[in-house]
Chain A
Amino acid sequence: MNHLKRGFLSILPIVSGILPFGAVMGATFSDAQLPFWQALFMNVTLYSGAAQLATIELMKLKTAVFVVVGTGLIINIRFLLYSAALAPYMQKAPLWLRIFSSFTLTDQSYAAMSAHADSFETNEDAMRFYLGSALGMLFFWHTSTLIGFVFGNIAPASLNLDYAVPLSFVALMIPSLKTNNHKIVALVSSLLSLILYPMPLRTGLITTALLSIGVAWFLIGRRKKV
């Protein structure tokens, strides 16, 4: 099977998490009484569910522009790490793919790619896989957002489908825990995320990630000394 198709199919198991999230996004656009073209513009070009949900709520309260924009960017700053992790695969990527990736990098498409990183023989394989997973995300996200915008959040609450999002991240993280050091970093990240959760403007997320990478750096350095 080619890597583009594998990338697209890698998104299918997490669709149950994407669909309700997208439906909530669409319903939020609708509740905020945004015209369809404005909802579409934000969804296609910003393409970041968490930041969109948070900033729509702030905009409904007429919050100052710098607070709205700052909140959105702080939530999205984690993409910096994904961008860094993708960079080694993108060194010979054509310009269009780099521009495409600059608009379409998401938690899910990155996590799907990192979970399959061992199966890529060349950077081209990795790029095709990423393109497939990003296209899969685009398709399911925009479809579910459109459904949410038109019909509201139609998923029955009793199914707890929103819970599929964290579950899919668990499954996508596990293949990346290749060594004991990776497991230690995941454990540190878990504990720090709970301690730093009360930080304002959701800065706990990026602070946890950066501190955990600092721990990884320390562990790599210590192993090299030994």
Chain B
Amino acid sequence: MIEQNYFLTNTILMIIGTVCIRGSFIAFASRLKITPLTRELFTFIPAAILPAIFIPATFFHQGQLEMLAGKERFVVLLLCLGATYFVRNTLFCVGLGLSLLYALHALAS
């Protein structure tokens, strides 16, 4: 059981900090002078941060398939990356990945 005052202290401090982080640039957007270079740099943000979320999340996940050293999620992710590069559809990528992983587990069991 988490004590109420302790929970609220932590949560309120995190809320204040997170709103400041999220709102940092948005709040002052009208006063910001965004140069073409900065605007171009911003286009790299998805490429810089999204792989840093999904690559470790799949590579370090311990799976069940011995033949893939427990890295079946990572292998399937790489396959989906290749396929989605040509198809460019989110639903296709999610559907293909979940189906492949399910099929691999079913085949192995």
CB A157 to nearest CB in B, in angstroms, measures 10
CB A204 to nearest CB in B, in angstroms, measures 7
| B97 engages A83 (CB within 8 Å) | no
- Residue B21 is within 8 A (CB to CB) of chain A in the complex: yes
Q: Indicate with 1 or 0, residue by residue over B39-76, a CB within 8 angstroms of chain A CB atoms.
A: 11111111111111111111110000000000001000
Chain A positions near chain B (C-beta within 8 angstroms): 12-14, 16-17, 32-34, 38, 41-42, 45-46, 48, 51, 55-56, 59-60, 62, 65, 68-69, 72-73, 76-88, 90-93, 98-99, 101-103, 105, 107, 111, 114-115, 117, 158-161, 163-178, 181-183, 185-187, 189-190, 192-194, 197, 204-205, 208-209, 212-213, 216-217, 220
| B97 engages A163 (CB within 8 Å) | yes
| A159 engages B98 (CB within 8 Å) | yes
11 A-B residue pairs with Cβ-Cβ distance under 8 Å, sorted by A, are A34-B2, A38-B4, A42-B7, A46-B15, A55-B10, A59-B2, A159-B102, A164-B94, A175-B88, A193-B53, A213-B45
Partner of A166, one of B4, B24, B41, B58: B58
Chain B residue total in the interface (Cβ 8 A): 68
Q: A168-B90, A212-B47 are in contact. Are A62 and B19 (CB under 8 A)?
A: no
Whole-angstrom distance between the alpha carbons of A15 and B107 in the complex? Answer: 27
Query: Which residues on B sit within 8 Å (CB–CB) of A84?
Result: 24-25, 42, 45
CB A31 to nearest CB in B, in angstroms, measures 11
Q: Most chain-A CB neighbours within 10 Å: which of B50, B52, B93, B97?
A: B52
Query: Which residues on B sit within 8 Å (CB–CB) of A220?
Result: 37, 40-41
Whole-angstrom distance between the alpha carbons of A59 and B77 in the complex? Answer: 33
| A189 engages B27 (CB within 8 Å) | no
Whole-angstrom distance between the alpha carbons of A62 and B94 in the complex? Answer: 38
| B17 engages A171 (CB within 8 Å) | no
Whole-angstrom distance between the alpha carbons of A68 and B60 in the complex? Answer: 24
Partner of A101, one of B22, B32, B41, B56: B22
| B43 engages A105 (CB within 8 Å) | no
Q: Write the chain B residue with the least CB distance to A221.
A: B37
